Amino acid sequence: MKKRGAKTRTGPFSIAGMVLDDIPGVMEIERRSFPTPWSESSFRYELLENPYASLFVARADQPPEVIAFASVWVVDDEMKINNLGVHPLWRRKGVATRLLAFLLAFAAGQGCRQATLEVRPSNAAALRLYQKAGFVLTGRRKEYYTDTHEDALVMTCPVSPPGRPPSLAPSDR
């Protein structure tokens, strides 16, 4: 059984498990954020059929209601972050930092020892976010992204045990 995590209020928005009604808002962010967006059917599959997947959204009280989302897989003692996006109107407001901290806390609660992800070397904002959260470069996947044949940087971060917050910069706590 999937564990989605409780709804968490974090300032002007809350973070909770994604539901089917969130998909249109997620798709808007996906299309505005990524050169090769996931399809709606991919999100439906992850949400309804993939036993390893957990999906989360950040919701605001005003439009756009869905302001960020993340899709992760938990397999054994590792959480793999597959996708994380923030609506353009909400970027540079700490949303991604808080969502990432939520994901790392979720991973700890699931018994994970580490989190991994792939990121484009050209995505400077994401690289800064992940490095600030404690992710380090551990590998490279050659020509990983089919749209541009850009490599993917593989990054890994140790997960803090439950009850201990992930290490973020003091200004982000």
Burial of 56 (0-12, 13-18, 19+ CB in 10 A): buried
The catalytically annotated residue of 65, 78, 118, 150 is 118
Looking at residues 45-70, what average pLDDT do you find? 94
* Domains identified in the chain and CATH numbers: 8-172 (3.40.630.30)
pLDDT at 41 over 60: yes
Q: Which two tokens stand for residue 101?
A: 């901290």
Q: Is residue 130 among the annotated active site residues?
A: yes
Quickly state the pLDDT bin for 147 (edges 50, 70, 90): confident
CB atoms closer than 10 angstroms to residue 67: 25
Grade residue 35 by pLDDT with cuts at 50, 70 and 90. Answer: confident
Instruction: Examine the residue annotation and report whether 52 is marked as an active-site residue of this protein.
Output: no
Distance in angstroms (rounded) separating the CA atoms of residues 173 and 167: 9
Q: Using an 8 Å Cβ cutoff, are 131 and 138 in contact?
A: no
Burial of 169 (0-12, 13-18, 19+ CB in 10 A): exposed
* Close Cβ partners of 121 (under 8 Å, ≥ 6 residues apart): 127, 150, 151, 153
pLDDT at 1 over 50: no
pTM across the whole model: 0.85
Distance, in Å, from the CA atom of 59 to the CA atom of 18, rounded to the nearest integer, reads 10
Confidence of residue 8 (pLDDT cuts 50, 70, 90): low
* Tokens of residue 169, six digits: 């910069």
